[in-house]
């Protein structure tokens, strides 16, 4: 059986035994998690999320970049269209991790990585590509400085250790901007 057949069988099992009809589009825990595409760091698994609790956005490195900000603006627009507002009472969690493949990108494809991050290649060293603790703090600071995000959104910066399976809070929860 090839992997697509395996996936189809797993989906059939899911539909028969785990599917929940009528789930709401907006996350029940009013939370958005930004993480890396690395399969070792799936927020659904490492944070033991239940279906529908959080919206999860993943990109290379879990970094704040122009595409992420555009996605967040679209999600906010969607929430408004559905009679909700992303802001007060909502959480935004940045989840970076140790042993991230983005480090290899900075050595083997710096121009492509710089484009992904929306910066010039010479600015890559300042992005703390090889240090998830610094990078998550930098990205939280970028979000806090972004006037297009709701100021009462609570942001947290976490680092997941792929060697231990544990998360560490690097940036404690706080509003993007003080009232």
Q: Model confidence over 113-141: pLDDT tens digits?
A: 999 999 999 999 999 999 999 999 999 99
**pLDDT band (50, 70, 90) for residue 82:** confident
Give the closest residue to 41 by CA, choosing from 93, 117, 118. 93
Distance set, CA 16 to CA 6, 10, 13 (Å): 15, 10, 5
Place of tokens 């942001």: 155
The share of the chain scoring above pLDDT 70, in percent, equals: 99
Structural domains of the chain, with CATH: 27-175 (3.40.1050.10)
What rounded mean pLDDT belongs to the chain? 95
pLDDT at 171 over 90: yes
Contacts of 66 (CB under 8 A, 6+ apart): 118
Contacts of 149 (CB under 8 A, 6+ apart): 72, 143, 176
The reply, when asked if residue 108 is annotated as ligand binding, is no
Which pLDDT belongs to residue 1?
65
Nearest 10 degrees: CA dihedral of 54, 55, 57, 63?
A: -60
pLDDT at 143 over 90: yes
The reply, when asked if residue 116 is annotated as ligand binding, is no
The reply, when asked if residue 36 is annotated as ligand binding, is yes
Q: How far apart are CA 85 and CA 90, in angstroms?
A: 9
**pLDDT band (50, 70, 90) for residue 179:** low
* Predicted model pTM: 0.94
Which pLDDT belongs to residue 43?
97
The reply, when asked if residue 99 is annotated as ligand binding, is no
């Amino acid at each position: 059986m090839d992997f697509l057949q395996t996936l189809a069988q797993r989906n059939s099992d899911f539909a028969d035994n785990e599917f929940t009809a009528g789930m709401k589009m907006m996350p029940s825990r009013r939370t958005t998690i930004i993480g890396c595409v690395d399969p070792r760091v799936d927020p659904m698994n490492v944070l033991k999320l239940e279906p529908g609790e959080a919206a999860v956005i993943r990109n290379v490195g879990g970094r704040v970049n122009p595409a992420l900000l555009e996605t967040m603006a679209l999600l906010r627009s969607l929430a408004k269209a559905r009679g909700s507002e992303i802001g007060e009472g909502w959480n935004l969690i940045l989840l970076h991790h140790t042993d991230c493949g983005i480090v290899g990108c900075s050595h083997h494809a710096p121009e492509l990585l710089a484009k992904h991050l929306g910066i010039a290649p010479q600015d890559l060293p300042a992005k703390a590509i090889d240090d998830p603790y610094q990078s998550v703090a930098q990205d939280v600071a970028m979000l806090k400085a972004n006037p297009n995000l709701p100021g009462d959104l609570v942001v947290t910066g976490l680092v997941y250790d792929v060697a231990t399976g544990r998360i560490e809070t690097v940036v404690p929860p706080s509003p993007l901007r003080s009232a």
